[in-house]
Amino acid sequence: MTVADVRDLFDMTGRVVVITGGAGLLGRRHASAVARAGALPGLVDIREDLALEAAAELSREFGCDCSGVPADITSEPSVRAMLDTVLQRYGRVDVLINNAANNPTIGQSGAQVEWTRLENFPLATWDRDIAVGLTGAFLCSQVVGSELARRRRGVIINIASDLAVIAPDQRLYARPDREPLAQPVKPVTYSVVKTALIGLTRYLATYWADSGVRANALSPGGVFDGQPEEFVAKLATRIPLGRMADAGEYEGAILFLASDASSYMTGTNLVIDGGRSAW
């Protein structure tokens, strides 16, 4: 295989990549990864201002036609309108990255802590988190995936988490000044949404296997984004590579999963967590 053949494997020239939550921390990096390989990213986000701003930045940086597409992925009409917008602009869609999720902040102040705990977790928060992380991924897969299947070619990537394969270690969030029932915790919905996405991935992969659509999950470990020093140090001791990820460290995996380099891969979960789940 020559250098040119290797480049061809990862070449995304002219391919349209729809990224939900595209204006967020990792969404922009997924877009950079595929834009560098020649793709046209559509950043779908409920935050229209941020999506347009990020799209303009990426277009400038990579000289690509990147667009911001405002949509609420929990609403079926909004998801259908999003696909229409993408098809009107580019005439095709090749890749869907289901990346949007509510990333629950671990409560630090009194009342917030109380409501993140399982005993008190509000049904409304459960419904909201499931709606974005899971129902949103289902709706986008249904609507965009049907278009991919109709064209008999395409890729779906579901962004899960290391917490799709291990339980949250609640000791990471423990505060010595608090009673057991007042300790901050990672909320239950995060584990449930991320684990369910692995099931959705297997379902989509086998359902559309003979329609030319591949579906895989990517399970990233925690990204350093200015979290408190004490938390970062504690988490580092549970990661064989001894640190959190940089936001750009998933770009190679996204390009691999989105391109023909992964042509024989479907229905699986690529775990990139600094080795955390190996311990």
Ligand X SMILES: NC(=O)c1ccc[n+]([C@@H]2O[C@H](COP(=O)([O-])OP(=O)(O)OC[C@H]3O[C@@H](n4cnc5c(N)ncnc54)[C@H](O)[C@@H]3O)[C@@H](O)[C@H]2O)c1
Q: Which residues of 155-185 are buried (b: 16+ CB within 10 A; e: fewer)?
A: bbbbbbbbbbbbebeeebbeeeeeeeeebbb
Q: Give me Rg for the CA atoms of the chain.
A: 19
Question: What SS3 class is residue 158?
Answer: strand
Q: Which of residues 134, 159, 185, 213 is near ligand X by CB under 6 A?
A: 159
Cβ 110 to ligand X shortest distance, Å? 24
**205 or 271: whose CB is closer to ligand X?**
271
Regarding 223 and contact with ligand X (CB under 6 A), the answer is: yes
Q: Which stretch binds ligand X (CB under 6 A): 22-30, 81-89, 171-179, 207-215?
A: 22-30
**101 or 185: whose CB is closer to ligand X?**
101
Regarding 101 and contact with ligand X (CB under 6 A), the answer is: yes
* Chain position carrying tokens 């229209």: 48
Q: Which stretch binds ligand X (CB under 6 A): 10-18, 44-52, 58-66, 117-125?
A: 44-52
> Are 67 and 43 within 8 A, CB to CB?
yes
Q: Which stretch binds ligand X (CB under 6 A): 5-13, 39-47, 117-125, 256-264?
A: 39-47
Regarding 258 and contact with ligand X (CB under 6 A), the answer is: no
Q: Which stretch binds ligand X (CB under 6 A): 10-18, 19-27, 110-118, 230-238?
A: 19-27
**9 or 272: whose CB is closer to ligand X?**
272
> Are 184 and 125 within 8 A, CB to CB?
no
**74 or 259: whose CB is closer to ligand X?**
74
| Terminal alpha carbon distance of the chain | 36
Cβ 219 to ligand X shortest distance, Å? 7
Q: Which of residues 9, 36, 47, 236 is near ligand X by CB under 6 A?
A: 47
Regarding 32 and contact with ligand X (CB under 6 A), the answer is: no
Regarding 21 and contact with ligand X (CB under 6 A), the answer is: yes
Regarding 67 and contact with ligand X (CB under 6 A), the answer is: no
Give residues 70-89 in contact with ligand X (rule: CB under 6 A): 71-74
> Are 41 and 19 within 8 A, CB to CB?
yes
Regarding 107 and contact with ligand X (CB under 6 A), the answer is: no
φ, ψ of residue 270 in degrees (nearest 5):
-90, 110
Q: What are the residues binding ligand X (CB under 6 A)? A: 20-21, 23-27, 45-47, 71-74, 99-101, 103, 132, 136, 159, 161, 220, 222-223
